[in-house]
Amino acid sequence: MKKLMLTAAAAALTLSFGVAQSWAQNIQPRLIRFGYGLNEDSNQGRAVRFFAEEVGKRSGGKLKVRTFGAATLGPDPQMQNALIGGAQEMMVGSTATLVGTVKEFAIWDVPFMFANEKQADAVLDGPVGQKLLDKLQEKGLVGLVYWENGFRNLTNSRHKIEKAEDLQGVKLRVMQNPVFIDTFKAAGANAVPLAFAELFTALETKAVDGQENPYTTIVSSKFYEVQKYLTVTNHVYSPWIVTASKVWWDKLSPDEQKILLESAAAARDFERADTRAQAQKALDQLKAAGMEVTVMPEEEVAKLREKAAPVTKTVIESVGQPLWDEVQAGIKKAGGTN
């Protein structure tokens, strides 16, 4: 009996060693260049570091993620092109800059679509969110998961924006994205598309009057140093997307792909919790830094929503009514509609 047990133990040990050896053979030493736009001390930077640590742990140190923050590898569109060409492995950036690559991504830019983070999570992490991720593959990109940028709000250096008409003539930097440009033009602003890396200087030199971003980005980018007024509008919920080069991804083993997917999802959960915890703190910091904060009344927000209605209609026509209906069904299932 004892001999039988020893034989079984030896067999189990051999099997275990074989599995471990097989696992090791499926993970090759690789250096992964991972680019992002915000500063290292931002919520985005913290999540990227978390991702890099997860990948290292899960791969036994064989997959090494080298991070490049503050747009050192270029703005989002440039990094996306680098991924498509295989010159860079991974990045996280705005979904808004992918609209020129996959038009359906414009759905995430529709103003006032999500009322809260619960709705956004349910839709982005659900079937419709995955459907859009899958569309990237035919364009040379692999979409892994969505992270959170957050609800966007307005800042400017000219005057308080309390009413919808106060936006009239304000030179406002927006992302290089047709939905953002058209939305703020419809609101009466002078919408100026500009790369994020150029934004602080443009605000400092008053080449533009203002911009729109979540609280955490306004803090981490120190826009409070060159902006006086903050208006709470929550006009768009803005997701980030973790993407990889398909040329590179297809060379990875299934085990390597699994590690990266699981690490990106773990970092997503970390990043969302971090971003939401930091949002109120960031607002308090902006007030302490001397920014005048105005919460736009609901009736004025309703005016902006009405002005943006033709833009929403154009997006629906572009992406298709079925996709719009799927998103609305996801929102309703999560609790509520807009």
Instruction: Find the mean pLDDT for residues 281-296.
Output: 97
| Residue 25 confidence (pLDDT) above 90 | no
CATH class of 27-335: alpha beta
E strands in the chain: 30-35, 63-68, 90-94, 141-151, 153-156, 171-174, 190-193, 210-213, 229-232, 237-245, 292-295
Which residue is it, tokens 């940028």? 149
DSSP secondary structure letters along 63-91: EEEEEE-TTTT--HHHHHHHHHHTS--EE
pLDDT at 13: 44
| Residue 8 confidence (pLDDT) above 90 | no
For the record, the structure tokens of 222 come out as 């120190």
- Dihedral of alpha carbons 308, 108, 189, 289, sign: positive
Give this prediction's pTM: 0.88
SS3 155: strand
127-157 pLDDT, tens digit per residue, is 999 999 999 999 999 999 999 999 999 999 9
pLDDT at 335: 87
pLDDT at 337: 56
pLDDT at 18: 36
Report d(CA 237, CA 108) in Å as an integer.
8
Residue with the bigger pLDDT between 299 and 19: it is: 299
pLDDT band at 16 (very low <50, low <70, confident <90, very high): very low
Report d(CA 71, CA 201) in Å as an integer.
14
Percent of the chain with pLDDT over 70: 92
> Is the distance from CB of 164 to CB of 287 less than 8 angstroms?
no
Which residue is it, tokens 């105005």? 294
